[in-house]
Structure 1
Amino acid sequence: MDWDGALSSLATASLQERMVDKELTFVGSVATVDEQDHLLLHRVKDASEWLSLMDWSTGEWRELEQNASRGFVDTSAICFLPFGNVVGIMQGSVSAPTHKSLETWLNELRLFPDVDLVVRPVLSKAEVERLAAAHGASRIEIKIGNHKVSALRDRVGRLAKFLRVAHEAYGDISVTMIISVPRGKALAEHRQALLDDLRDIAPVAPDAAERARAKLVFAEADGAERSRLVELTEHHITAKRRVSAVDEEGNSIRILSAVDAILGVAAEHEGELRAAVEAAQT
């Protein structure tokens, strides 16, 4: 994908051309760091959100009110890496845009008119290869919180359907599902079917599930089976970095720091990222 070209066009677009207003409102901006364009994706705070400002020296506080011409936003810094359509994201706050927000914004703006884009977490190559090599799954355990089930809306497997039905039937609940298939050749097809449904949700598991683990079954040359436990929510590629908000003179450097952190992590994990993308495409 020509991300550089898309960002270049975005830099000269009007505010309305960069805005998506659905359940939430998102606005994109372009930040240039070291002659390279990067995306800032903003979530516009609703006028009903309670915002206040406190003076730390006096303890005084006052409410902040939005008006017709100005508003408050939560911002995420986003870097498009030069390989594999890999995207690096750093949220400025817990309510700042996520990778799913980016997916919504990109598709609603139709930056690439003939393509429907899917943005999903990158699983480590090892986990992708284990899922591909397995012959079945003898046990899965998945926990989905009430605010995460929407991540499963495009999944078509039975696990995803079961979880969606539970939320539709009972409302805002946290669901834990455990499915086990006993050993034995007679149930090999059931273990294969369970693996197929697990593979269906694996790409979105890091975003959808609070916990997702499975016991995969592998067939030995002599016909015997061996099992291995895998964790699907803890093997996506992430890194923690401290980001400076201001420089020594008190000037804001949040965006510069965020971009530097994203690119630094990308460089550090480039081999793993490239391998993960290649494994996911095979």
Structure 2
Amino acid sequence: MAVQNRQRTVHFYQFADVREPAVDPLPWQNWERLLRRLRDLPVPDRTVESGGETFIGAVDPQQTAPHLLLAKVRRDHPQQIDFADGSLSKLQLAADKGLVEVTTVLFLPYGNVLATMGGGMSAPRVSAIQRWFGGMALLREQVELRPVVNAQSRDKLAHAQAVDSLEVRVQPEPYDSPSSLRAASNLGSGMNRIREEFPDMTITLKIEVPKRGRLTPRRRSRGQRHLLDSTAAFARDIGDWLDNTDSVDVAHARAHVEEYGQQSKNEVIDFVSERITAKCQVPLGATDGHHVDIHVALEKLAQASRDRERELRSAVGADI
């Protein structure tokens, strides 16, 4: 019989100093030494309360790879069934036990890059990892986690002179996903309101400056600059959505990009494909939808990191 699998996405992030966004990422950190210290701490000293949620970091002493298990304590109340009489009741746990959602983090040996795999849709995402590190104060710097982006496409938006079109598509979220996504821009807030009103539908936003002939050159230029500003503001929301949901499957803009004083050329800025990620198959028996077996998760993370190593090193300036 064929082995059944669940697909999981591996995301790659790099540590940076949130107070110095324009400078290079942090100096290389000795993660193995830091994780050894963390492993020996009592549970209360590995616990961070943030945004009404509880996160607990752990290190499995049986695993040799430098890793972190970040657990989010569940607030729901699962039901259990008595197979003898069919009665339902709330799952009873001992006072010192709890249910958690787990994300596995693997620290790579270059560029302060880490690879992550969530155990399920509600497992801690990058914002939770960042909040846990901030609460633990393990590093002297106040850190943020930046997605590792393809080196060639990283600066396109920064060098764009105008944008002709923008398209974003969001698919319906699974039932156990968060009910809302944060948005700071006008476009993001508007799209989020529509998505919340129509949660069972695919939402597509497309804005396009009309082609020549319908507008005067002056109005066309004004529209392109306006859409450039709106795209730049929306880009941060898109980045946050890509960090916190798998429902955004299309997000791209068509722009005029100028490089090193040369004449501008038309380029597609693809906010989805520019991120370096990897898909992997996890055996159904290794996950219950809330966590992935630690040995399997680290094996898959290591394999995905090896497969993307050249691209990752290029993106963070850590050439082989």
TM-score band, normalised by shorter chain:
0.7 to 0.9
What secondary structure, in the 3-state scheme, does the structure 1 residue paired with 2:97 have? coil
Of 104, 107, 132, 1:77 maps to: 104
Query: In proportion to residue count, which structure has more helix?
Result: 1
Contact 1:99/1:120 (8 A) holds in 2: no
Note the 1:114-133 alignment, pairs <5 A.
114-133=140-159
Q: Unmatched 5+ residue regions in structure 2?
A: 1-28, 287-291
1:3 CA drift (Å):
2.4
Q: Aligned in 2, Cα 1:60/1:39: closer, same or farther, shift over 3 Å?
A: farther
Identity of paired residues, percent? Answer: 24
- The alignment's C-alpha RMSD in Å is 3.8
What secondary structure, in the 3-state scheme, does the structure 2 residue paired with 1:10 have? helix
Q: Deviations over 1:130-169 (max 9, x none)?
A: 334433222223356884532x46xxxxxx25534776x8
Note the 1:22-101 alignment, pairs <5 A.
22=50, 23-32=52-61, 35-46=64-75, 48-52=76-80, 63=89, 64-101=91-128
Contact 1:131/1:199 (8 A) holds in 2: no
The separation in 2 between residues aligned to 1:201 and 1:128, in whole angstroms, is: 16
Note the 1:92-111 alignment, pairs <5 A.
92-111=119-138
Contact 2:32/2:66 (8 A) holds in 1: yes
After TM superposition, the structure 1 stretch with the greater mean CA deviation from structure 2, 93-102 or 238-247, is 238-247
The separation in 1 between residues aligned to 2:235 and 2:273, in whole angstroms, is: 16
How many residues are treated as equivalent by the alignment?
262
Are 1:267 and 2:306 an aligned pair? yes
Kindly provide the amino acid, as one letter, of the partner of residue 188 in structure 2.
Answer: L
Q: Deviations over 1:60-91 (max 9, x none)?
A: 78652234211111211111112222111111
Q: Aligned in 2, Cα 1:206/1:166: closer, same or farther, shift over 3 Å?
A: closer
Q: Which has the higher contact order (CA 8 A, sep 6+)?
A: 2
What secondary structure, in the 3-state scheme, does the structure 1 residue paired with 2:279 have? coil
Q: Aligned in 2, Cα 1:81/1:51: closer, same or farther, shift over 3 Å?
A: farther
Q: Which residue of 1 aligns with 2:43?
A: 15
Query: In proportion to residue count, which structure has more strand?
Result: 2
Q: Aligned in 2, Cα 1:191/1:69: closer, same or farther, shift over 3 Å?
A: closer
The separation in 1 between residues aligned to 2:297 and 2:130, in whole angstroms, is: 20
Q: Which residue of 2 aligns with 1:163?
A: 188
Of 147, 167, 172, 1:141 maps to: 167
Q: Unmatched 5+ residue regions in structure 1?
A: 154-159, 248-252
